[in-house]
Amino acid sequence: MNGVHIRSAERALNVGTWLIVCGAMLYSILTVTPLMSAHTPERWGWTAPILPLVVDAAVVIVVRLDSVLARLGGHGGRWPVALRWMTGTMTLALNTADSALKKDLVGVAVHSVAPLLLIVTAETGLAYRRAITAAATALEVRQRAEREAAEQAARERAEAARREAREEREHAAALAREQREHEARLVAEAAEREERRRREEREERAAREHAERVERERREREREQREREREHAERQAAQRAENERRERAEARQREQHEREERAARERAALLERGPAAGKLPEDEARAIVNAGYEAGLSVRAAADLCGWSVGWVSTRYAELRDPGHGGAELAIAGR
């Protein structure tokens, strides 16, 4: 048996004991409460469950503390024994009292099962726990002895291993000396081979650098040729762009000249119409005033051509001379 088996046995004992205790407590409360209700004044009937609860609480305390003391290997003395038997006897008496008063022997036997089972379980559980504690203590002592023996064997093995390691180090030192001498010879040979290899690499590098220099010069010549071609192409493109710009400027000048000529013809046509027979529409009158202003006509002459008043034409002339303020100033002066 090992520690796992002991813990499993303790767990089974605890679970079984508490199942019996809880069942006996529930059965005792359900059995004793009616008896206490029958022998308690009516106004205090609500206190009937208190007594069975108190007795069962004492049972729980006894079982719990006995289990702790048994696990620690201690003994509580005579008072725990007296309390255990007193609570068991009280539980038995309370559970069988109602049947005994009715002289019902079968009821007495039936209601004594749970209290007797509780009493015997408490005593048996205590004995089991003490036995398990003793067994666990013996197992711990045996395991401690086994651990000490294993540690002693481990120390002996470690000492033997250290002795073997020391011998191996001495042998390894001898081999290392031979190895160093052999490596020294190999290093000298390797140095000679390395020197020969570096000399060959220098020759190869010099040849490669010469080939790279020739290739670089060739690429430089090609690059310069491409640069010259590119500059020539850029100059041609710039010349074409300049020609196009000049052509666009000339076209704009021609268009501007044509617009000016067309505007002059339109102004001449407006001015050649002669004095108006009446007041022309405002849009047409404004066009005639603009044409007269551009042609340098007097305010009176422009007023005759459009049929509007001299003041109105003067205001339009002032607006044309000073678009921001001229019209407003003339309007204020006219007032």
The string of DSSP codes covering 211-231 is: HHHHHHHHHHHHHHHHHHHHH
Q: Which residues contact 131 (CB under 8 A, 6 or more apart)?
A: none
Backbone angles phi, psi at 104, to 5 degrees: -105, 95
Dist CA 317 CA 313 (whole Å)? 6
- pLDDT value of position 331: 39
CA dihedral for 35, 40, 43, 46, sign (positive or negative): negative
Q: In the chain, which residues have pLDDT < 50?
A: 326-335
- pLDDT value of position 304: 75
Q: How far is CA 194 from the centre of its chain?
A: 57
pLDDT tens, residue by residue, 128-185: 666 677 666 777 778 788 888 888 888 899 989 988 888 998 988 888 889 989 899 8
Dist CA 83 CA 27 (whole Å)? 21
- pLDDT value of position 207: 92
- pLDDT value of position 60: 67
- Return the SS3 of 184: helix
- pLDDT value of position 329: 42
- pLDDT value of position 330: 39
Amino acid at 95: N
- pLDDT value of position 222: 92
Q: How far is CA 114 from the centre of its chain?
A: 60
Dist CA 234 CA 230 (whole Å)? 6
- pLDDT value of position 328: 42
Structure tokens at 58: 């004492």
